[in-house]
């Protein structure tokens, strides 16, 4: 196994392994096991020295209503971050799209590994695409983004709440609680359930959530060894793209109550970004695009352009738009 050069720091003893904190859901555990292999390779240890400790998050315990109604994104990270802060774990693995804009004091994003496919998928037993659904069909989702994007083109459809992990939502769909739903392709791929997808949504049909398909590996700020290990498998391209997307989200003060999509991709040595802001019913839509030559040290400029795109949309939408969202 490959070892990396580490800064001077106290080495981990056999009785203090490189523990990972993760949500308990099957998808979260699959993601944690991917990172477990990366850490073991980078540190030159066995997987036994990188145990995965699972936690039930507040968001997983409360499956009633939308995320906005029960407190937002931080409900999926709170218990995991507490495990880092109290020393129960040295790494935490999150879905990047679940991460709030700011990490708690004392924690840092130490790595963003290479991204999975960021697109959404449509799943239904009654139609091949969302646009083929019969009038008045029920589409289950807890995402205000997906709901708004859907209603923008199919205002006749009925959006119904559908929450839970991937398996739970597939089971609910099979039981007829909805006629269709949407999931992230990245999650299906990581669970080897991509065969359940009825159709993969093009990004011009459904722009993904900010950070979708990317992982966040978090450590304590003062754990130099853990930070160096994580940095060894950080993907510079994915990081630059995610920095631009999250700067866009932060600039819009995005929450689970705000329908926002954003995706940055590298094509022909250039980061190409598109972001959108919608009303809850999809009737209003504002779009911003940016381009940036990709190269070493471009992350700061990527963040600046993401924030600039957010300001463009805030100005275009106007203060009354955001008051209506809050009301």
Q: Which residue has the tokens 């959108």?
A: 276
- For residue 98, indicate whether it is catalytic: yes
User: For the chain, what is the HEC assignment?
Assistant: CCCCCCCCCCCCCCCCCCCEEEECCHHHHHHHHHHHHHHHHHHCCCHHHCCEEEECCHHHHCCCCCHHHHCCHHHHCHHHHHHHHCCCCCEEEEEHHHCCCCCCCCEEEEECCCCCCCCEEEEECCCCCHHHCCCCCEEECCCHHHHHHHHHHCCCCEEECCCCCHHHHHHHHHCCCCCEEEEEHHHHHHCCCHHHCCEECCCCCCCCCCCCCCEEEEEECCCHHHHHHHHCCCCHHHHHHHHHHHHHHHHCCCCCCCCEEEEEEEECCEEEEEEEEECCCCCCEEEEEEEEECCCCCHHHHHHHHHHHHHHHHHHHCHHHHHHHHC
For CA atoms 43, 91, 103, 245, the dihedral sign is positive
CB 221, CB 84: distance < 8 Å: no
The residue annotated as part of the active site, out of 60, 98, 120, 223, is 98
CB 232, CB 4: distance < 8 Å: yes
Catalytic residue positions, numbered: 98
């Amino acid at each position: 196994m490959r070892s990396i050069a580490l800064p001077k720091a106290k080495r981990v003893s056999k009785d203090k392994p490189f523990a990972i904190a993760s949500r308990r859901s099957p998808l979260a555990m699959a993601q944690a096991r991917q990172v477990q292999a990366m850490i073991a390779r980078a540190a030159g240890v066995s997987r036994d020295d990188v145990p995965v400790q699972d936690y039930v998050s507040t968001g997983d315990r409360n499956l009633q209503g939308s995320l906005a109604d029960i407190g937002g994104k931080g409900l999926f990270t709170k218990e995991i971050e507490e495990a880092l802060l109290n020393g129960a774990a040295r790494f935490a693995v999150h879905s990047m799209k679940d991460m709030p804009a700011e990490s708690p004091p004392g924690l840092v994003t130490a790595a963003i590994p290479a991204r999975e496919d960021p697109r959404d998928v449509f799943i239904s037993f009654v139609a091949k695409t969302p646009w083929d659904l019969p009038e008045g069909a029920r589409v289950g989702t807890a995402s205000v983004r997906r709901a708004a994007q859907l209603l923008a083109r199919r205002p006749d459809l009925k959006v119904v709440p559908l929450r839970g992990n991937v398996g739970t939502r597939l089971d609910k769909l099979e039981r007829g609680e909805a006629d269709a739903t949407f999931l992230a392709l990245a999650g299906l791929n990581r669970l080897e359930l991509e065969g359940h997808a009825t159709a993969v949504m093009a990004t011009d049909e459904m722009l993904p959530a900010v950070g979708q398909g990317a992982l966040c590996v978090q450590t304590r700020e003062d754990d130099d060894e853990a930070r160096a290990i994580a940095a060894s498998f950080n993907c510079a391209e994915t990081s630059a793209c995610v920095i631009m997307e999250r700067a866009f989200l932060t600039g819009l003060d995005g929450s689970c109550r705000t329908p926002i999509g954003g995706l940055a991709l590298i094509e022909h040595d250039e980061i190409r970004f598109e972001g959108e802001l919608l009303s809850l019913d999809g009737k209003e839509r504002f779009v911003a695009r940016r381009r940036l030559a990709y190269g070493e040290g471009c992350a700061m400029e990527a963040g600046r352009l993401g924030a600039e795109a957010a300001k463009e949309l805030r100005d275009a939408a106007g203060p009354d738009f955001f008051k209506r969202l809050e009301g």
